[in-house]
Structure 1
Amino acid sequence: MEGEITTLLPALDPVITDYSVGFLTHAATSTSPEADLELAEAISTVTQLLTDAAPPSVNPEKISALILKLVSQLEAKHGSRKEYSTRSKKLDQSIHMASHKNISSTMGLLGTGVDLEQTGARKVESKVDRKKLEKAERKIKAKQDKKIMKNVSYEASRLINQDDQKEYEEFYMQVNPLSLESSAGKSKDIKVEGVDVSISGKRILSDTTLTLAYGRRYGLVGKNGIGKSTLLRALSRREVAIPTHITILHVEQEIMGDDTPAIQAVLDADVWRKHLLAEQERITQELAVLERTPEPITVTGGGSDFKSKQRDELDNLLTDIHNKLAEMESDKAESRAAAILAGLGFSPERQQFATKTFSGGWRMRLALARALFCKPDLLLLDEPSNMLDVPSITFLAEYLQDYPSTVLVVSHDRAFLNEVATDIIHQHSERLDYYKGGNFDSFYATKEERRKTAQREYENQMAYRKHLQTFIDKFRYNAAKSSEAQSRIKKLEKLPVLEPPDEEYSVVFKFPEVEKLSPPIMQMTGVSFAYNEGNPIVSNVDLDVQLDSRIGIVGPNGAGKTTLLKLLIGQLAPSKGMISQHSRLRVGYFAQHHVDALDLTMSAVSFCAKMFPGKTDEEYRKHLGAFGITGMTGLQKMALLSGGQKSRVAFACLSLQNPHILVLDEPSNHLDIEAMDALADALKNFGGGVLMVSHDVTILGSVCNRLWVCDNGTVEAFPGDIKAYKKRILEQAGSSGVVAQGHHK
């Protein structure tokens, strides 16, 4: 048995080998009532011990397989221990040491060695000398200190179920194993062939190739429900085989709030830096203690070089840590964190506020700030513009244009992609198509040209195949023409098989005709509102909405835009002023969090029938189809739909209200490009009035002819279009020095 371990791990200390065999033999031959539990614990402990002591080149799965093989050999040699044994059932389970009580994890940077004495809180018979065991543990600890973290297996779902900073740090270190070795010289290009991704039995990608060149910024686009977010999650969990020296960070959900100041939460996000600083402090203290400790005297009376060796080891480790911190530019961390937060709208005062005091939208900004601060080699962003206002989107686009690493962003914001993306990846038909060296507009034109070319090639080949087949069928059995028929058969067999190109994806939104009403339609006169007296959200607002109005409301998050809409539709009552509406006016309100109004346990068809009864299922399906909810999608539970598909259901329900005025709060969130174009066309052709709060520059520029800015408690008309507003934001950011330039590695 020792020989098999030595074969797999030839450099392993014999003390560890002897201990492992002895421990397994004891557990496998035990006849105690808890024999099965003892064996499970032994397998867990020995597997973890050998994995920690093994070089990085040895796959942990090979070690696990070897341990199970050795146990099987022991059982075959010594026979069954108990008739009631359920050993095989136990061994079929994957046992992780860190999940058992009284057994320490060795995954962390500052963790200690395996608790050999505390395995199952019992004494273990062993012929191994206690001092030799302690020596073996010290060797394992030294090896861990040098490489600090190895690639370890992890539970994928942990990424999107983080409860606190501790779990975030643990997961970060598991996904991004830290090494003191410099990453200089290692390629950070990503090319993975044969990628397959599925979710809930649905195939997202089949045998496709993922290619990401380091330093490029990729926009990942595709229609709603195609699986773009699923692909990002798979990458963030390393379910796709990305080399472990390439760091990955995924911005998907808001951080949990606690008493930590915002700027400290950003600094703590860089787990490598935090752990290295803690390790630097620990080693510095150990060196200080070592200097104060008297030199040990040997039996012969001579001095010992043990202290000198220990000091040298700590000095070398401290030098490695200093080099790693210098490579990370740790000394510039606080100024860089402050600059990023300022760009995302956090004033110097707000940067000191506890994270628990921020709303969900601001916590999402904090999550983004943490990711930008960490500077991962691969930054994954899922619809970042959904959580940001126009000023913050403008800052983010400027920031990413100088980002030194690789960015993969899912976005349906055409203007954002035009500014940020250097390449576009189109996800469709279970594959990825690459459009290099261009922004979204160039991709759109190239994609359409590719589709037309593929359609022509396919049609031409089908016509040629038909021509050949007609001749073959006519003259195959004609003696005079048989040789020509055979020649055509060979030509037909040699023709490449072309797949029919994807059908052109299009969607049309349609709102119903509007009955005419005489003005005034909807007015706000001198309106003020405050949740707490003396602290108004908006003050002295005068706003007039007519059936031909196309008004866009912009401004920073938290300025009161949504509050203004709720006042208009009557969800809130003004503290001061007057709001008047036409007596027959019907207002359709699209809420930013519209999903909360949907019953996700029902299908879209059933939900429409429940909320707006009086039509047949076929009529509801036809109505939903006009908003892109076609086929079986309308009959599935809405919980299974993507964010964009749920938005389409909400718009379909909005249309069933036959509104005169559409009041829309972030209507473009989650919609794909085609749906956004369809929505813009429908709003332009709508016979009633439109009042929308949006951060999407494209839809604001396409639909709205009047722009109102909500900021500092006021709502004022802006003398220009959305491009002029963006230009003003950039000028203000430039004059205040908000857009940070010192964020490169």
Structure 2
Amino acid sequence: MIQISNLSKAYSTQVILDDVGFTINSGERIGLVGRNGHGKTTLLRMITGEAKPNSGGISIPNNYTVGYLSQHLKFSKKSVLKEGCLGLKPSEDGIDESYKVETILMGLGFSKDDFTRRTVDLSGGYQVRLNLAKLLVSEPDLLLLDEPTNYLDIVSIRWLTGFLRGWKGELILITHDREFMNKVTTHTMIIHRNKIRKIAGPTDKLYEQILLEEEIYEKTRINEDKKRKEVEQFISRFRAQATRASAVQSKIKALQKKGRLEKMSDIKDLEFEFVSAPFTGKLLIEAQDLSFSFTKEFVSKAPSPLPLPTGQAGSPSMEEGYNISPTLRGGDEGEGDVSGFNNDHISKPESPLLIDGLDLAIGKKDRIAVIGKNGKGKTTLLNLLAGELKPIGGTVTHHPSLKLAYFGQTNIQRLMPEKTVEEEILDAFPSLSRSAARNICGIMMFSGDNALKKVSVLSGGEKSRVLLAKLIVSPANLLLLDEPTNHLDMESVDSLLEAIDAFRGAVVIVTHSEMILHAVATRLIIFDDDRVRVFEGTYQDFLDKGGWKDEEEGVSRAKQNGYKKGNGRNKKDIRRLKAELIDNRSRTLTPLQLRLAEVEETISRLEKGIEHDTQALVKASEKGAVESIQKYSRSIHDSRVKIDSLFDELEALTNEIEMKTRECEEKFEALTLNGS
């Protein structure tokens, strides 16, 4: 158990944490949320000792290990597997446990052939994965993960989800992916208004509680301000009258004793929209028999990366077909190699086809998600659609009225470090007035002097907001979005989803977030099983119809490495045991879930009662009805006491359900592996 007490942290005059405290109990997996810049990473660094608090303490038991995913990538071994094995704890009996490393490496997207690769040859993204593998295999008591999914693809994230759900120690997870967090964690903790709040349950539940509490606080504050003004008027009116002196003094003392509820400061949310350009045609882009591969000849002849076009991306007419001069973008799939192509693609005389014979038509209101493992060609496809790469076969035809806005992963590197936020906006649209540019800066949370910040001092999330700001300057009828949520916090991701939903044009998005896939996509372009295909349906439809072949391959490879080996049961026994397990799970969980629902319903009813009593209290105060004021005040107090008690029961029920569910899932997964 880790105890944090009276912790405070500030940078100069900016207070990050103010006298906070919480406990990390045995087995808790905590999702840490809060807006960018509010201190999430700082808190993790204080737990590890990399940063020091201004006051307060962090109590960690003796021999308790804390593991943190370092951003500093330094490898001492030549091969991937040998480097990964450095994370293993010393074996007392001398047994070779390298199979554990192999299992985790393959779960994170490495192949057996990668085990002997030199660590220096890995792209930036795979170096981060290797670092994560070393951390996971070291099995610390407390695992600290700060945005671990940024360099992972969907298949790897799905594996990591299952791995972390079975984590036996404690965990604090920071991620912008709400669905990933809710699947993995047992508790949610938020940094909000310089304080920390922790509850059992998912993120939505915590946000709903805070919203309700702040609504009640604000109503109470307004009510008390009205009463204060009435008392002040009474004092002012009768201060000079001797007959009322006693009453006046009593009012003054009561006023001084009560104190004033301060108005809560406003917390600005990211609110913006993409401006839709009109389009009367049927298809924005049509690709026919599209093929592409990186070759040495292609790389040697390719032009250097150029600044991202503003507004329309140099679209040829429908009659001309594909005849524009492409601009070459560095790297692929967010692998961290932004100065050139991923070495995997150009290490041989000619790489295999990333895209082979793809037919694709993009309609004016399509919502298309491009999904698949990293390095398979998702970013390359967007570059082909945008006209920044030229195919080796087939055609990409743009409608004459196409107006394209492109958010690319590597575009952050195209921002000029010496320029201000405002200047970057004006560069994207030179005819924009300075006041209009400032308005856009304000919309993207760069109000006032923040618009004059230089790009060089911005965080990753702030740079992403600058790129989004450059997109909303000009009207568009097609958005190409390549991992736009990296570096954004949950609140900003929600705002982005709202903007996409309101956009009247088409959207093609590359994302590793299953939450976004479920929320946005009505069609898919799938890179899986060494091929690319168009799937007509939602992401859930895709999963229901078989899902990922690459994921099945990963399970098969894990079995071959001795991970969760079977015990010889036949398929009939497996089916029977699964049925019994499902029946036992239902009989065990049903009464707990029913009680959980009852508790939640009671809390909801009491909270509505508090809201009703608060409104009644306001009216009673306005009328000066003392008995009613006392009645409703007592009712509100009693309800809050009951709610506190019910939340304790809710936490206990949630923990028990989570524990029993996890036990069933682990048994079910073991049976699945045994029977497959």
TM-score scaled by length of structure 2: 0.69
Q: Which residue of 2 aligns with 1:174?
A: none
Contact map agreement 1:529 1:574 (CA 8 A) in 2: yes
Computing the radius of gyration from Cα coordinates, the structure with the larger value is 1
Tell whether 2:80 aligns with 1:262: yes
| Deviation, structure 1 residue 417 | 1.2
1:399, distance to aligned residue in structure 2 (A): 0.9
2:65 to 247, 256, 260: 247
| Structure 1 letter corresponding to 2:173 | V
Shift of 1:239: 3.3
Q: CA–CA distance in 2 between the matches of 1:242 and 1:565?
A: 49
Q: How does 1:164-563 map to 2 (within 5 A)?
A: 189-199=1-11, 202-240=14-52, 241-243=58-60, 245-253=63-71, 255-256=73-74, 260-270=78-88, 273=90, 325-326=91-92, 331=95, 333-434=97-198, 436-503=199-266, 505-532=268-295, 533=350, 535-563=352-380
Query: Take 1:372 and 1:587, find their aligned partners in 2: how far apart are those partners?
Result: 42
2:523 equivalent to 1:706: yes
Change (3 A) 1:519 1:720: closer
Contact 2:76 2:83 in 1 (8 A): no
Deviation at 1:255, TM superposition (A): 3.1
Distance (Å, rounded) in 2 between the aligned partners of 1:527 and 1:615: 38
Aligned equivalents of 2:94, 2:210: Cα separation in 1: 44
Identify the residue that residue 181 of structure 1 maps to in structure 2. Answer: none
Q: Secondary structure at the match of 2:283?
A: coil
Tell me the residue number matched to 2:614.
none
Q: Identify the residue that residue 635 of structure 1 maps to in structure 2.
A: 452
What do residues 26-52 of structure 1 show as CA deviations (whole Å, max 9, x unaligned)? xxxxxxxxxxxxxxxxxxxxxxxxxxx
Give 1:108's aligned residue.
none
CA distance in 1, matches of 2:274, 2:382: 20
Letter aligned with residue 732 of structure 1: E
Q: Is the 8 A contact 1:255 1:366 kept in 2?
A: no
Give me the whole-angstrom Cα distance separating, in 1, the residues matched to 2:105 and 2:196. 34
**Compared with structure 1, are the counterparts of its residues 736 and 473 closer, same or farther at alpha carbon in structure 2 (3 Å cutoff)?**
farther
Give distance in 1, aligned partners of 2:366 and 2:536. Answer: 16
Q: Are 1:509 and 1:678, in contact at CA under 8 Å, matched by a contact in 2? A: yes
Distance of aligned partners of 1:246 and 1:202 in 2 relative to their CA distance in 1, 3 Å threshold: farther
Q: CA deviation at 1:684?
A: 1.6
User: Aligned to 2:243, what secondary structure does the other structure show?
Assistant: coil
- SS of residue paired to 1:480: helix
CA offset at residue 496 of structure 1?
4.7
Secondary structure at the counterpart of residue 206 of structure 1? strand
Identity of aligned residues (%): 32
Question: Shift in Å at residue 505 of structure 1?
Answer: 4.4
Contact 1:216 1:405 in 2 (8 A): yes
1:612 to partner: Cα distance:
2.2
Find the residue that maps to 2:67 and give its secondary structure: strand
C-alpha displacement at 1:662, in angstroms? 0.8
Q: Which residue of 2 aligns with 1:85?
A: none
Unmatched segments (≥5 aa) in structure 2: 53-57, 296-349, 566-662, 664-676
Task: State the alpha-carbon separation in 1 of the partners of residues 82 and 225 from structure 2.
Answer: 64
Amino acid paired to 1:251: L
Cα-to-partner distance string for 1:646-676 (whole Å, 9 max, x where unaligned): 2111001012233221111001112122221
**Residue type of the alignment partner of 2:206:** F
Q: After TM superposition, give the deviation of residue 192 of structure 1 in Å.
A: 2.3
CA contact (8 A) 1:541 1:714 kept: no
Shift of 1:561: 0.6
Q: Which SS does the other structure have where 2:274 is aligned? A: coil
Partner in structure 2 of residue 717 of structure 1: 534
SS at match of 1:678: helix
TM-superposed CA distance for 1:201, in Å, is: 6.0
Could you tell me which of 423, 431, 438 is aligned with 1:606?
423
Match in the other structure for 1:736 = 556
The question of whether the paired residues in 2 share the 8 Å contact of 1:225 and 1:644 is answered with: no
The runs of 4+ residues in structure 1 deviating greater than 4 Å are 256-259, 724-727, 737-742
User: Once superposed, what is the RMSD of the aligned Cα atoms?
Assistant: 2.6
Distance 2:528 2:50 in 1: 42
User: Whole-Å Cα distance in 2 between the matches of residues 338 and 347 of structure 1?
Assistant: 9
CA distance in 1, matches of 2:259, 2:100: 56
Secondary structure in 2 matching 1:491: helix
Q: Distance in 2 between matches of 1:485 and 1:588?
A: 67
Q: Which amino acid aligns with 2:243?
A: A
1: CA distance, partners of 2:391 / 2:77: 34
Change (3 A) 1:485 1:707: same
For residue 661 of structure 1, the aligned residue among 467, 471, 478 is 478
1:693 correspondence with 2:505: no
CA-CA distance at 1:634 after TM superposition: 1.9
Separation in 2 of the partners of 1:564 and 1:690? 14
Cα distance between partner residues in 1 of 2:144 and 2:269: 28
Please list the CA deviations of residues 303-342 of structure 1 after superposition, one character each: whole Å capped at 9, or x if unmatched. xxxxxxxxxxxxxxxxxxxxxx44xx97463122111112
- Superposed displacement of residue 710, structure 1: 1.1
Deviations 1:242-276 (A, max 9, x none): 53633222214373467622222111134x63xxx
For the 8 Å contact 1:389–1:555, the answer to whether it is kept is: yes
Q: Which amino acid aligns with 2:167?
A: Y
Structure 1 counterpart of 2:233, which letter? T
Give, as a single letter, the amino acid of the residue that structure 2 aligns with 1:649.
V
Question: Which residue pairs with 1:279 in the alignment?
Answer: none
Q: 1:245 to 1:453 in 2, by over 3 A?
A: farther
- Determine the C-alpha separation between the residues in 1 that align with 2:13 and 2:83: 38
Alpha-carbon separation, structure 1, partners of 2:123 and 2:531: 21
SS of the aligned residue for 1:667 comes to coil
| 1:314 matched residue in structure 2 | none
CA apart distance, 1:737:
7.1
Contact 1:197 1:234 in 2 (8 A): no
Shift of 1:451: 1.9
1:624 aligned residue: 441
Instruction: Give 3-state SS (helix, strand or coil) of 1:543's partner.
Output: strand
Q: Does the 8 A contact of 1:666 with 1:694 survive in 2? A: yes
Residue identity in the other structure for 2:476: P
Cα distance in 2 for residues equivalent to 1:578 and 1:658 = 26
- Contact conserved, 1:254 with 1:363, CA < 8 A, in 2? no
Instruction: Give the letter for the 2:115 counterpart.
Output: Q
Structure 1 letter corresponding to 2:502? N
The CA deviation string for residues 674-727 of structure 1, in whole angstroms up to 9 with x for no partner, is 221211111122122110100112222222211221124422123543235456
Q: Report the Cα offset of residue 610 of structure 1.
A: 3.2
Q: Report the Cα distance in structure 2 between the residues aligned to 1:367 and 1:724, rounded to whole angstroms.
A: 34
**Match of residue 344 from structure 2:** none
Structure 2: distance between partners of 1:624 and 1:735: 47
Do the aligned partners of 2:277 and 2:403 also contact (CA within 8 Å) in 1?
Answer: no
Residue type of the partner of 1:248?
V
Larger CA deviation: 459-468 vs 540-549: 459-468
SS in 2 for 1:521: strand
